[in-house]
């Protein structure tokens, strides 16, 4: 695999408008800055449409919801669609409560997303597949995650990334697996949420036809940065968060191929 978009993110410094949850806002902004993007956090209904006139990508993350935020997400998502700006959905805990189910369904029917990034439970819910999630965590299930990614991508006509021990990415046709990462990732909150923001940053620097490759590279760089950061850390989760931010800033495209655990299947089922 050729890494070509990471340097573009660093050169272009895309402005990523993050409508994200209160748990991860600071970590997400720091992660985007480390990577070389420019975070802008706002959920004010009064200004979110305007932001789409100068931003390069929009992230909508439903981690901690309230009515004003949902109104703002709908305004921002529609404005981004009008401006042709990529929009990423992180459907945090999508199936966990009736309110989240209703909001997720409204966002998906009124906004055309470019990519959706969630854990297994969240994307299984979107694909209408049985899975035992636990609040905002992935929980347990038996279903085929590659198929879940493909089904959701077909249903919502966008790229879907299911993150976890193995990431499964699909454009509705191809399924790509990335087996890099570290078990320390799920020990820090917001590692999935920041991944959604990083995907948005990569989408903010590519042409539409490169969207799948951009999402694959975003998830790969992210997982490798975590894997490298975790070397020699064993269970030190606090140090991992810091080392991971450092790696997002330091990781370079050279010398990554040796570490890569990437698998593409090209079936058109």
Ligand X SMILES: Nc1ncnc2c1ncn2[C@@H]1O[C@H](COP(=O)(O)OP(=O)(O)OP(=O)(O)O)[C@@H](O)[C@H]1O
Answer yes or no whether residue 233 interacts with ligand Cc1ncsc1CCO by CB under 6 A. no
- In the complex with ligand Cc1ncsc1CCO, the residue whose CB is nearer, 64 or 83, is 64
Answer yes or no whether residue 133 interacts with ligand X by CB under 6 A. no
Determine whether the annotation assigns residue 63 to a binding site: no
Report the alpha-carbon distance of residue 114 to residue 263 in Å, rounded.
Answer: 22
Among candidate residues 90, 77, 80, 94, the one with its CA nearest the CA of residue 129: 94
Determine whether the annotation assigns residue 163 to a binding site: yes
- In the complex with ligand X, the residue whose CB is nearer, 5 or 222, is 222
Residues in binding contact with ligand Cc1ncsc1CCO, number by CB under 6 A: 10
Enumerate residues 14-53 that contact Mg ion by CB under 5 A: none
- In the complex with ligand Cc1ncsc1CCO, the residue whose CB is nearer, 35 or 121, is 121
The least CB distance from residue 116 to ligand Cc1ncsc1CCO, in Å, is 15
Do 139 and 131 form a contact (C-beta atoms < 8 A)? Answer: yes
DSSP string over 122-152: HHHHHTT---EEETTEEEE--S-HHHHHHHH
Answer yes or no whether residue 193 interacts with ligand Cc1ncsc1CCO by CB under 6 A. yes
Report the alpha-carbon distance of residue 172 to residue 7 in Å, rounded.
Answer: 27
Q: What is the DSSP letter of 109?
A: H
Enumerate residues 170-209 that contact Mg ion by CB under 5 A: 192
Within a 10 A sphere around the Cβ of 4, how many other Cβ atoms?
13
Determine whether the annotation assigns residue 117 to a binding site: yes
- In the complex with Mg ion, the residue whose CB is nearer, 174 or 191, is 191
Interface residue with ligand X among 62, 181, 203, 228 (CB under 6 A) is 181
Kindly list the distances between the CA atom of residue 247 and the CA atoms of 25, 191, 225, 231, 252, in Å, as whole numbers in the listed order. Answer: 19, 14, 5, 11, 9
Q: Segment contacting ligand Cc1ncsc1CCO (CB under 6 A): 50-58, 121-129, 187-195, 196-204?
A: 187-195
Do 178 and 169 form a contact (C-beta atoms < 8 A)? Answer: yes
Answer yes or no whether residue 91 interacts with ligand Cc1ncsc1CCO by CB under 6 A. no
Binding site as annotated, residues: 41, 117, 163, 190
């Amino acid at each position: 695999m050729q890494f070509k978009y990471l340097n573009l993110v660093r050169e272009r410094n895309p402005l990523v408008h993050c409508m994200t949850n209160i748990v991860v806002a600071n970590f997400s902004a720091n992660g985007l800055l480390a990577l070389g993007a420019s975070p802008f956090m706002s959920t004010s209904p009064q200004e979110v449409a305007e932001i789409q006139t100068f931003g390069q990508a929009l992230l909508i993350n439903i981690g901690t919801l309230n009515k004003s935020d949902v109104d703002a997400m709908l305004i921002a998502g529609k404005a981004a669609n009008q401006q042709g700006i990529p929009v990423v959905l992180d459907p945090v805990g999508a199936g966990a409560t009736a309110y989240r189910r209703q909001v997720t369904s409204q966002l998906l029917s009124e906004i055309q997303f470019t990519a959706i990034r969630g854990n297994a439970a969240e994307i299984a819910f979107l694909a209408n597949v049985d899975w035992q999630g636990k609040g905002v965590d992935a929980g347990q299930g038996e279903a085929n995650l590659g198929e879940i990614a493909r089904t959701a991508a077909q249903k919502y006509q966008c790229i879907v990334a299911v993150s976890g021990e193995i990431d499964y990415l699909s454009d509705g046709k191809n399924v790509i697996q990335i087996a890099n990462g570290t078990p320390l990732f799920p020990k820090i909150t917001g590692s999935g949420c920041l991944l959604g923001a990083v995907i948005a940053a990569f989408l903010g620097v590519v042409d539409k036809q490169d969207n799948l490759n951009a999402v694959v590279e975003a998830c790969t760089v992210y997982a490798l940065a975590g894997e490298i950061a975790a070397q020699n850390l064993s269970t030190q989760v606090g140090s991992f968060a810091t080392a991971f931010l450092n790696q997002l800033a330091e990781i370079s495209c050279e010398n990554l191929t040796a570490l890569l655990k990437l698998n593409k299947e090209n079936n058109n089922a």
